Structure 1
Amino acid sequence: MQREKFSSRLGFLLISAGCAIGLGNVWRFPYVTGEYGGAAFVLLYLFFLLALGLPVMVMEFSVGRASQKSIAKSFDVLEPKGSKWHFYKVVGIIGNYLLMMFYTTIGGWMLIYFIKTLKGDFEGQSVEQVGVIFEGITANPWLMIGAMVLVVALCLGVCSFGLQNGVEKVTKVMMVSLFAIMVVLAVHSVTMENAGTGLEFYLYPRFDKLWENGLADAVFAAMGQAFFTLSIGMGSLAIFGSYIGKERSLTGEAVSVMVLDTSVALIAGLIIFPACSAFHINPDSGPNLIFVTLPNVFNSMQGGRVWGAFFFVFMSFAAFSTIIAVFENIISCLMDLLGWSRKKAVAFNLLAIILLSLPCIFGFNLWSSFQPLGAGSNILDLEDFIVSNNILPLGSLVYVLFCTTRYGWGWDNFIEEANMGKGMKFPKWARGYMMVVVPVIILAIFIQGYFVKFG
């Protein structure tokens, strides 16, 4: 069976960016940027994005394009005879399923909030009352199950139409709409009265804050954000490498994806900080920012119901673009591994992902007494920790070692694949850096993740 291909380069770039662009771009990046010195942190973040995130992304794309397979078969095709690199496919596939076990629930929250904002449910509510509304949503398993099932059905429905007619066509529209909505929201936010304080907090480089909050902490925060924002390490980007031709080199393509991903993170800050300062509301980090803080900002704003609805459409697109991209990887894995048709893989996953997503939902209500990572934690936290703090860094390490050592695919094969076609080339001199420095940084991020969580 012939491998499906993207109809255009733009499709590849927007879908790869859609996979990388997630909710962390919105609810973590702006806050961490403000906390660690605004533009000073952004410079640090961009450095690590180029030094760490970019090369690993090029390697994942290369493995996908050279093998013409998903993670289910890519290592089998490229590994030296008798080696065991293909064992990692089990971890990679589990990682993709685990991510969808909680991301579909968050996607459901975005839909619920879009409807509630449009209906005006937040109008006239205090900060505390908006918090109570969010608690009410998470306490209602049936509401969350309904929203999650709708998200799974919609996104798998897109994948059922195939790569070009489903995934590429729909994601193109969503991503162009996402950028358009973000620009409109950002322009509106920065032109509000009293927005200047928030802009200064976000964009003015305050190197003293880097020292004040701990330079080492700022460095780890920048490394972690640069690393996790691109969704590298479990084959969710390699699949799109397998769908493109050899006309262009992969470093230039990875840079384009990285620019799109970073633009969303930076624009999100332009929406959030000026708006919060205009209405004297402290920006928060994490889910509270989206589900408690920002509804209060829109509540205070003239025409807030419309702006809030726009915002949650954008957030839904950010969630759906990731979900569709990861679903496409999961479907391709089953097609490669078991020889299934696309329709059969979609039907199986419709049932499987709905069932696998239930523990995350029950963790907020029926099973809330189960607190796996300590007091106040829940099943979503555990699933996120396994993916973000374990599978992504260790998976990235596997890709780096596979592409640089003679025991894996090897440096020469990687360079030949990565640099095939016109465009920016991956530097051939960088082998020592990729073999020694990058693995040390990845291991440091891995250890730091445990230290922050349990130390």
Structure 2
Amino acid sequence: MSLQQGNPSAPGNNDRFSSAGFILAAIGSSVGLGNMWKFPYITGEHGGAAFFLLFIICLIIIGLPVLLAELAIGRAGRGSAATAYVKAGGPKAFAPFGLLQVIAPFIILSFYVIIAGWTLHYAVLSFSGKLFSDSNFSAQFSAFTGGYMPLIWQLIALALTGFVVARGISGGIEKFNKIIIPGLIVLLIVLMIRAVTLPGAEAGISFFLNPDFSKLSAEAALVALGHAFFSLSLGMGILLTYGAYVDKRQSLGSATLAIGAGDLIYAFIAGLIIFPTTASFGIAPDTGPSLVFIALPAAFSAMPLGAFFGGLFFVLLAFAALTSTVSLLEVPVSYVMERFGWGRTKSVVVVTISLLLVGLPSILSFGMVPWLDNIAGKSFFDWLDFITSNILLPIGGLVTTIFAGYYWKGAAEAAGLKSGWFKVWIFTMRYIAPVLMLLVLLHTSGIIKFE
């Protein structure tokens, strides 16, 4: 039965976002863990404020047009990500690429929810004071990730995520984000004030806000474009899926600007938390997950009320992680509902059980099963991250630009842009975005490199 015929299990048919709820949910999908450890690393590598300015330019010129395209395709198709292109009026040749944007978030969630579990565990440890009972934070982290406890915290994170998604769009995802996003904003502001008032924080603020244009390069431009693209949750089916739940009266242009602004503000405040803190305690802000789970706990242990602020920081991370896991889970759930005609609760249960099984090798690759820790130079966890982030997601973004620019006859009506803006948008989709997305794909997959 088609969506138009009123299949009650089909996504986008009955349950809808309110205008504010949709924008908060979309912002929630972009507010993730990456801006707390990936953003400082790539910003530090490529010139601080100069790179941040480049990131803003890429977000406006490429990120927002592709974001608008995904939302418009989703709303026009009123289906899951797997069927959005075809239901919006595209050729059947796009169906496999739609399915790819269901597979990618499923794989991402299988390992992302593990890190979400880590943040919940560390929030409890920090508030209880147990995190700071032993100053060897590296050994603590290794003992934790190499044991069975991550399995329990993965289950807790998935249960929380599944509970929200099972309650539906307006009653679950929207209500969740209406509570979490304001709370996250409060935590960001409190932690930013604490960070910028630390002794020696000025050096970190200066690094973040004073540009060094000598470090900009072609490499930096592609990294900035890639981060702008991925920080908006593009290419992974989330916004195609969320678009199916957006009311026809909602202005997608205004929503796109609001979502972009939310993502940018989050990245900016995250920088004003990480860089002053790392500068104050002499920490290199380019150490990936170990920055968050090893280096920063050492910093919190050395500051007044460190257990309190450390707890707030990990609650912030947990909030950011769960807003992303909720968005990621909705993509395969909406597909299962549409494909098999199941109810939402049954679909959530089946998908979450599948995620537990698929995520098991990733958890075991942190030491419990040694051969999973080194498969051709990467752990199983790292391979999943590499394949999704560097191959599947850029392909998804490239397909969106090609579809919107060349194959979609209903683009003008669906985007809802005035004539002048529509011409600029469609020109971007046809001649700028596909070329740049192809360069990002070739760069992230390692086919082209810069010295």
- Scaled by the length of structure 1, what TM-score is found? 0.92
Q: Which of 151, 163, 169 is matched with 1:163 structurally?
A: 169
- Counterpart mapping for 1:322-341 below 5 A: 322-341=324-343
- Counterpart mapping for 1:18-29 below 5 A: 18-29=28-39
Query: Could you tell me how far apart the structure 2 residues matched to 1:154 and 1:433 are?
Result: 39
Query: Could you tell me how far apart the structure 2 residues matched to 1:236 and 1:414 are?
Result: 19
Determine helix, strand or coil for the equivalent of 1:284.
Answer: coil
CA deviation profile, 1:244-295 (whole Å, cap 9, x unmatched): 1122331221121111112111111111111222223332331011111111
- Whether the 8 Å CA contact 2:146–2:367 is kept in 1: the answer is yes
- Counterpart mapping for 1:32-431 below 5 A: 32-80=42-90, 83-123=92-132, 125-126=134-135, 129-140=136-147, 142-210=148-216, 215-370=217-372, 374-375=376-377, 377-405=378-406, 408-410=407-409, 413-419=410-416, 426-431=421-426
Report deviation, 1:401: 1.1
- Aligned position for 2:433: 438
Q: 1:424 to 1:261 in 2, by over 3 A?
A: farther
Unaligned stretches of 5+ residues in structure 1? none
Report deviation, 1:105: 0.5
Determine helix, strand or coil for the equivalent of 1:84.
Answer: helix
Unaligned stretches of 5+ residues in structure 2? 1-6
- Whether the 8 Å CA contact 2:404–2:426 is kept in 1: the answer is no
Q: Which of 441, 445, 450 is matched with 1:450 structurally?
A: 445
Query: Could you tell me how far apart the structure 1 residues matched to 2:213 and 2:424 are?
Result: 33
CA deviation profile, 1:376-397 (whole Å, cap 9, x unmatched): x211111111111111111111
- Whether the 8 Å CA contact 2:49–2:207 is kept in 1: the answer is no
- Scaled by the length of structure 2, what TM-score is found? 0.92
Report deviation, 1:195: 1.2
Query: Relative to structure 2, which stretch is displaced further, 280-289 or 441-450?
Result: 280-289
Query: Could you tell me how far apart the structure 1 residues matched to 2:246 and 2:128 are?
Result: 43
Query: Relative to structure 2, which stretch is displaced further, 306-315 or 154-163?
Result: 154-163
CA deviation profile, 1:94-139 (whole Å, cap 9, x unmatched): 112101110110111111111111222332644xx11111111111
- Whether the 8 Å CA contact 1:418–1:426 is kept in 2: the answer is no
Q: CA RMSD in A?
A: 2.1
Percent identity, aligned pairs only? 34
- Whether the 8 Å CA contact 2:129–2:307 is kept in 1: the answer is yes
Query: Could you tell me how far apart the structure 2 residues matched to 1:117 and 1:429 are?
Result: 50
Letter in 1 for 2:439: A
- Whether the 8 Å CA contact 1:124–1:299 is kept in 2: the answer is no
Query: How many residue pairs are counted as aligned between the two chains?
Result: 440
Query: Could you tell me how far apart the structure 2 residues matched to 1:148 and 1:234 are?
Result: 22
- Whether the 8 Å CA contact 1:190–1:274 is kept in 2: the answer is yes
Report deviation, 1:80: 4.5
Query: Could you tell me how far apart the structure 1 residues matched to 2:97 and 2:222 are?
Result: 27
Query: Could you tell me how far apart the structure 2 residues matched to 1:424 and 1:366 are?
Result: 59
